[in-house]
Every structure is written in structure tokens, then in C-alpha cells.
Structure 1
Amino acid sequence: MAKLIALYKTPTDPAAFDDYYFNRHLPLARGIAGLTGYEVSRGPVASPLGASPYHMVATLSFASMDVLQTALASPTGQAAAADLANFATGGVELLVFDDEAV
């Protein structure tokens, strides 16, 4: 299985971020072909030492890295990536990797 993790830094307007994310970005991103799972963090994102610079973490799952890369290159994947500029005012870090249960 492969994952894409989106680490959204604290935006300038958290309420506007949440509204846009859940009402516009999420429906777009859920349409990415090959997506098998989509999870978002709930509540504050903290570190073991307390506060963090992150507002939200999204985890998208795909069957393999090949499927993930094809999905990101698709028109819907490209539209979702381009949409980040419309609401992620604090910035976003994207990480992709294969995972395995241990």
C-alpha cells in the first residue's frame, strides 16, 4: 500500500480553511481515481512536546506507489494539487511513501 500525507500548516484563517477544505477540496480530492482511503486529523495537531505548526493532517491511501503516481498525474489529481493554493495559506508539505505492517 502507498500513502500520501498532507501536512497543512496553520492557515491565516482556520475557519475559512476548514470551510473550503470540507466543502470544496475534499469532494474534489475524493474523486481521484485509485484512492482507497482518505482520513483527516480531528482537533489540534500536537507533538509529544505540545503545540505544532500544523492545523490538519490528511492521509490518502492507494494500492501501490504506481497507482498513487498515476493518480497524481491524472487530470483530477492535478486539479486537486492546483487547488491547494486556494486555501492552504499557511503552506502544505506533501509526503509519499510505500508502507507495510510490521
Structure 2
Amino acid sequence: MAKMIVLYEQPKNLEAFENYYFDVHIPLVQQIPGVQSVSIHRVKQSLYTDRELYLVVEIAFEHLEALNQGMATAEGEAVQNDPQNFIAFLHSPPAIYIVE
């Protein structure tokens, strides 16, 4: 299994971020071919960091090749281009990690 893990810090405009993220961005993510699941976790406490983490999002694929293939589709490209529509609601861009 391969996962894309996305870490978001506390937004500067929480309401606008949540409205866009959950109503527009996540439905786009769910359309990427090969996505097996999308898990969204609200961070309640962070230890040993100064970062104010807000959300941890896990997007699971069967394997790394499926992740790469899904992200190379029109749906994957739409998701990769979408953050420009909600980045203004954040203090900083999200951190993205690919793990197996």
C-alpha cells in the first residue's frame, strides 16, 4: 500500500478553508483513479513541535505505481492544481509526504 499524507497547519480563515476543502477539494480527491480511501484526522495535540497542525489527510492507493498513475490523470492534475483556490485561507502550504 502507498499513501499520500498531507499535513495542514491551522488555517488563518478556518470557515472559508473548511467550506472549500470539504465541499470542493475532497470530492475532487475522491475522483482520482485508484484511490482506495481518504481519511481525514483533526489534530487535537502536537508534541515536540512548534507547528500548529490542524489536519492530517491520508489518501491510500494499492501501491506506489497506482498512486503515480492516478496523479498523472486529468483528475489527479485537477487536484494538484486546486490548492491555488484555497491557499489564501492558509498561513503556509501543506506538507505532502508519499509513504509505503
Aligning the two structures, in what range does the TM-score lie when normalised by the shorter sequence? 0.7 to 0.9
Alignment of 1:35-54 (within 5 A): 35-42=35-42, 44-49=43-48, 52-54=51-53
Correspondence for 1:24: 24
Alignment of 1:1-102 (within 5 A): 1-42=1-42, 44-49=43-48, 52-88=51-87, 89-90=90-91, 91-98=93-100
Give me the whole-angstrom Cα distance separating, in 1, the residues matched to 2:3 and 2:36.
10
Aligned length: 97
Structure whose residues are more often strand by fraction = 1
Instruction: Name stretches of at least 5 consecutive residues in structure 1 with no aligned partner.
Output: none
TM-score (norm 2): 0.87
**What's the CA shift string for 1:11-56, capped at 9, x where partnerless?**
22011111111101011110000000110013x4421358742221
Give the root-mean-square deviation of aligned CA atoms. Answer: 1.7
Instruction: Name stretches of at least 5 consecutive residues in structure 2 with no aligned partner.
Output: none
TM-score (norm 1): 0.85
Give me the whole-angstrom Cα distance separating, in 2, the residues matched to 1:83 and 1:50.
28
Give me the whole-angstrom Cα distance separating, in 2, the residues matched to 1:4 and 1:46.
21
- Letter of the 1:85 partner, please give it: Q
